[in-house]
Amino acid sequence: MKRLHPALTLLVAAILAYGLLIPQLGFYWDDLPMSWIRYQLGADAMMLYFSTNRPVWALLYQVTTHILPHQPVHWQIFALFWRWLGAVMLWAIAKQLFPQREKFALTLSLLFLLYPGFNQQWGSYLYSHFFIVLFFFLYSLHLMLRGKTIPAMIFSALNLWMMEYFFVLELIRPFLIWTTLQAEFSPKERFARTLRLWTPYLAVFILAVLSRIFVFNNQIYGFSLKEELVKAPLDTTLLLLKNVLSSLWTVTVAAWSQAFQFPNPLVDGPRTVLIYAVVVIAVAGLILFGWRDQTESTGKNQTGWRVIALGVVMLLLGGPPFWLVNVPVSLGFPANRATLSFLLGVSFVLAGILEFIPTKIRLGVAVVLISLAAGRQFLWANEFRRDWTDHKNLFWQMTWRAPGLEKNTMVLMNEELKYYADNSLSPVVNWIYSPDNHTDVWDYVLFYPTNRDELPLTADTPVDYDFLAGEFHGNTSQTVVFYYAPPRCLRLLDPEIDADNRLIPEDSLLREATPLSSTAPILSELIARMPEIYYPEPGHGWCYYFQKADLARQMDDWETVTQLGDVAFALGDYPNDPIERFVFIEGYAHAADWEKAVELSLASYKVSRSYVAPPLCKLWERIERETESTPKQINALEKARSKFECKP
């Protein structure tokens, strides 16, 4: 049987690890604000957004966004393509550095492709451009090793001027050149040849450094340790050394240990566990098949030391963009983007270490590491899939509850979605409620109070926020506060009920913000226009009827509330939050169906007596105040007060 080309092996591995769930994935984190600014506000707004950090990189976005539409599936495939192409390019480089070591080259590129220290592949709009720049760097190395100096310098310049992640890695060139030179040269002659071949690239590097110092010196990262070194040189040096050692441990041992985090059937479900197992087994088989008939020369120990040496140098060159600004390197989201600078070095070090293991054992260890890494990436893909589903449900429920919003409204919400910041969600609110606004004045903003220390939670206070590409001007007197913790429904907080609702975590700060929440900015007329990427609309289950009932309650349309309640309770579906029954309790009370109101109150009370009783008492106080006093009302009130121990 004809052997499988390494590029095809890498492609299949990439699809198995990253691509199986692409049709169900969306936009995440910075994808949303960056893509919305480009497609909604225009190319000039995008240039303004990048004006204070990586302006040259913005030109790359100008090209790609003219080609690809504002659809997640296109960007997911695009990001996967560049991740794969970078691995293919590393394979080609390894083939040039270590001839007759084809099996080693494939192993190295697979370690690079499936590295488990970075788990943000599916932030496709953002990271596709990271991987394009990484490809520029790798392609420049490939061209250099082939003696194509001019095009190699061009791609080197593209890397250096676009972003800082792979900036210092440019200094790996003399080490690669030295590796490729024949051993028969004397050390002196080898050094002279290395210096001569490196000189053009060194000139490009120096020019890039000078341009950052004198032409554009307000990059997103600056040398923040300068003052500390002057004030306390010894302490700062020790802190820097600690940061370096911690980072190296994180991107190597800690990162690869994540490959051994297996799925939990109780959490992930049997279907996910089954697909995970299929991915691991398929990648293992793919590796074994891809290794067939690959040449493998002797002298592996010598190769191992050279590979490790190159990897260590690459690790040390990958760290300065973070070490010199005292940015910690961690595996948490979103900070693990920093591991991309170390990706090349980690792969070389691990591939070199494997060289010292006896052949049969080495192949087994490599298969286990690579296949488990592929499985781990699939599990992360599934997390992103779930978060996108929760994200879409959030905004569908928001539009069900608030068909329209007054302009200049501030939305407050808890930090529940894993792969989104509040900056990610503000553009979506504008996209939905102000789809025809293409100006630099934003009509809406969404904040997590926990992320905004400067955000006032007091009434009638101006709120101004600069998004670089646009500005928001509002006031806390025009605020809606939502709580979202799926599978619970999105819920507009009620100042009278929720200020002391302990079912809302105190550290979310939403209980503190609840007095600001108002229904006044919510319009009953349909203004919201859901973007195409959020379709299809979720099925109309419990949360749909809850949101529509809450909107009807706002309009004092109690007949509609009870009609919706009759339909909702007939679904056989039930609320995941006892407070979700409150709108129907209030509706049935206003309809004088006191028996139903008390019955639903008892059902909520039984969920958590100590937590639900105080809000229930507040609700029944309002019911007493707003409904007609009749014998049945008085009887229901007495039942409620005695059962829930409400104070008169």
Q: Are residues 558 and 529 in the same domain?
A: no
Q: Are residues 406 and 363 in the same domain?
A: no
Provide mean pLDDT across the span 578-604.
96
pLDDT of residue 221: 45
Question: How far is 545 from 547, CA to CA, in rounded Å?
Answer: 5
Please answer whether residues 382 and 419 qualify as being in contact, where contact means their C-beta atoms are separated by less than 8 angstroms. Answer: no
Q: Are residues 148 and 195 in the same domain?
A: yes
pLDDT of residue 212: 80
* Side-chain half-sphere CA neighbours of 142 within 13 A: 18
User: Residue 382 above 50 pLDDT?
Assistant: yes
Name the band, by pLDDT with cuts 50, 70 and 90, for residue 211.
confident
Residue 334 lies in a domain: yes
Q: Are residues 21 and 117 in the same domain?
A: yes
Residue 394 lies in a domain: no
pLDDT of residue 623: 95
Least confident of 46-55, 519-528, 588-597: 46-55
Q: 648: which DSSP letter?
A: -
Q: Are residues 196 and 61 in the same domain?
A: yes
SS3 460: coil
User: Residue 415 above 70 pLDDT?
Assistant: yes
Q: Are residues 523 and 546 in the same domain?
A: no
Q: Given 354, 385, 416, which residue is the final one in a domain?
A: 385
Provide mean pLDDT across the span 17-32.
97
Instruction: List, for residues 447-479, the tens digit of each pLDDT value.
Output: 999 999 889 999 999 999 988 888 999 999 999
pLDDT of residue 565: 96
Q: Are residues 360 and 426 in the same domain?
A: no
Q: Are residues 238 and 380 in the same domain?
A: yes
Q: Which residues pair with 480 in a beta bridge?
A: 411
Give, in order, the Cα–Cα distances in Å from 505 to each of 414, 415, 468, 502, 580: 9, 11, 32, 6, 17
Q: Are residues 362 and 488 in the same domain?
A: no
Give, in order, the Cα–Cα distances in Å from 56 to each of 44, 217, 487: 14, 13, 43
Question: Which amino acid, 379?
Answer: L
Name the band, by pLDDT with cuts 50, 70 and 90, for residue 224.
low
Provide mean pLDDT across the span 257-275.
95
Give, in order, the Cα–Cα distances in Å from 221 to each of 106, 230, 324, 325, 390: 35, 19, 9, 7, 33
Q: Are residues 593 and 637 in the same domain?
A: yes
Q: Given 352, 385, 418, which residue is the final one in a domain?
A: 385
Instruction: List, for residues 602-622, the tens digit of each pLDDT value.
Output: 999 999 999 999 999 999 999
User: Residue 48 above 50 pLDDT?
Assistant: yes
pLDDT of residue 73: 97
CATH of the domain at 623: 1.25.40
User: Residue 1 above 80 pLDDT?
Assistant: no
Query: pTM value?
Result: 0.94
Using the Cα atoms of residue 292, residue 298, residue 300 and residue 306 in order, give the sign of their dihedral. negative
Q: Given 353, 385, 417, which residue is the final one in a domain?
A: 385
Q: Render the burial of 103-126: b for 16+ CB within 10 Å, e for the rest.
A: bbbbbbbbbbbbbbbbbbbbbbbb
Structure tokens at 300: 């592996």
Residue 393 lies in a domain: no
Structure tokens at 431: 């996209």
Question: How far is 611 from 617, CA to CA, in rounded Å?
Answer: 11
pLDDT of residue 298: 55
Name the band, by pLDDT with cuts 50, 70 and 90, for residue 100.
confident
What's the chain's average pLDDT?
92
pLDDT of residue 227: 64
User: Residue 24 above 80 pLDDT?
Assistant: yes
Residue 430 lies in a domain: yes
Residue 428 lies in a domain: yes
pLDDT of residue 220: 47
Name the band, by pLDDT with cuts 50, 70 and 90, for residue 508.
very high
Number of domains within the chain: 3
Q: 473: which DSSP letter?
A: E
User: Residue 414 above 70 pLDDT?
Assistant: yes
Residue 306 lies in a domain: yes
Residue 189 lies in a domain: yes
Residue 390 lies in a domain: no
Q: Are residues 645 and 558 in the same domain?
A: yes
Range of the domain at 425: 402-535
- The fraction of the chain above a pLDDT of 90, given in percent, is 78
Please answer whether residues 327 and 225 qualify as being in contact, where contact means their C-beta atoms are separated by less than 8 angstroms. Answer: no
Q: Are residues 188 and 70 in the same domain?
A: yes
Question: How far is 308 from 39, CA to CA, in rounded Å?
Answer: 45
pLDDT of residue 52: 73
Name the band, by pLDDT with cuts 50, 70 and 90, for residue 561.
very high
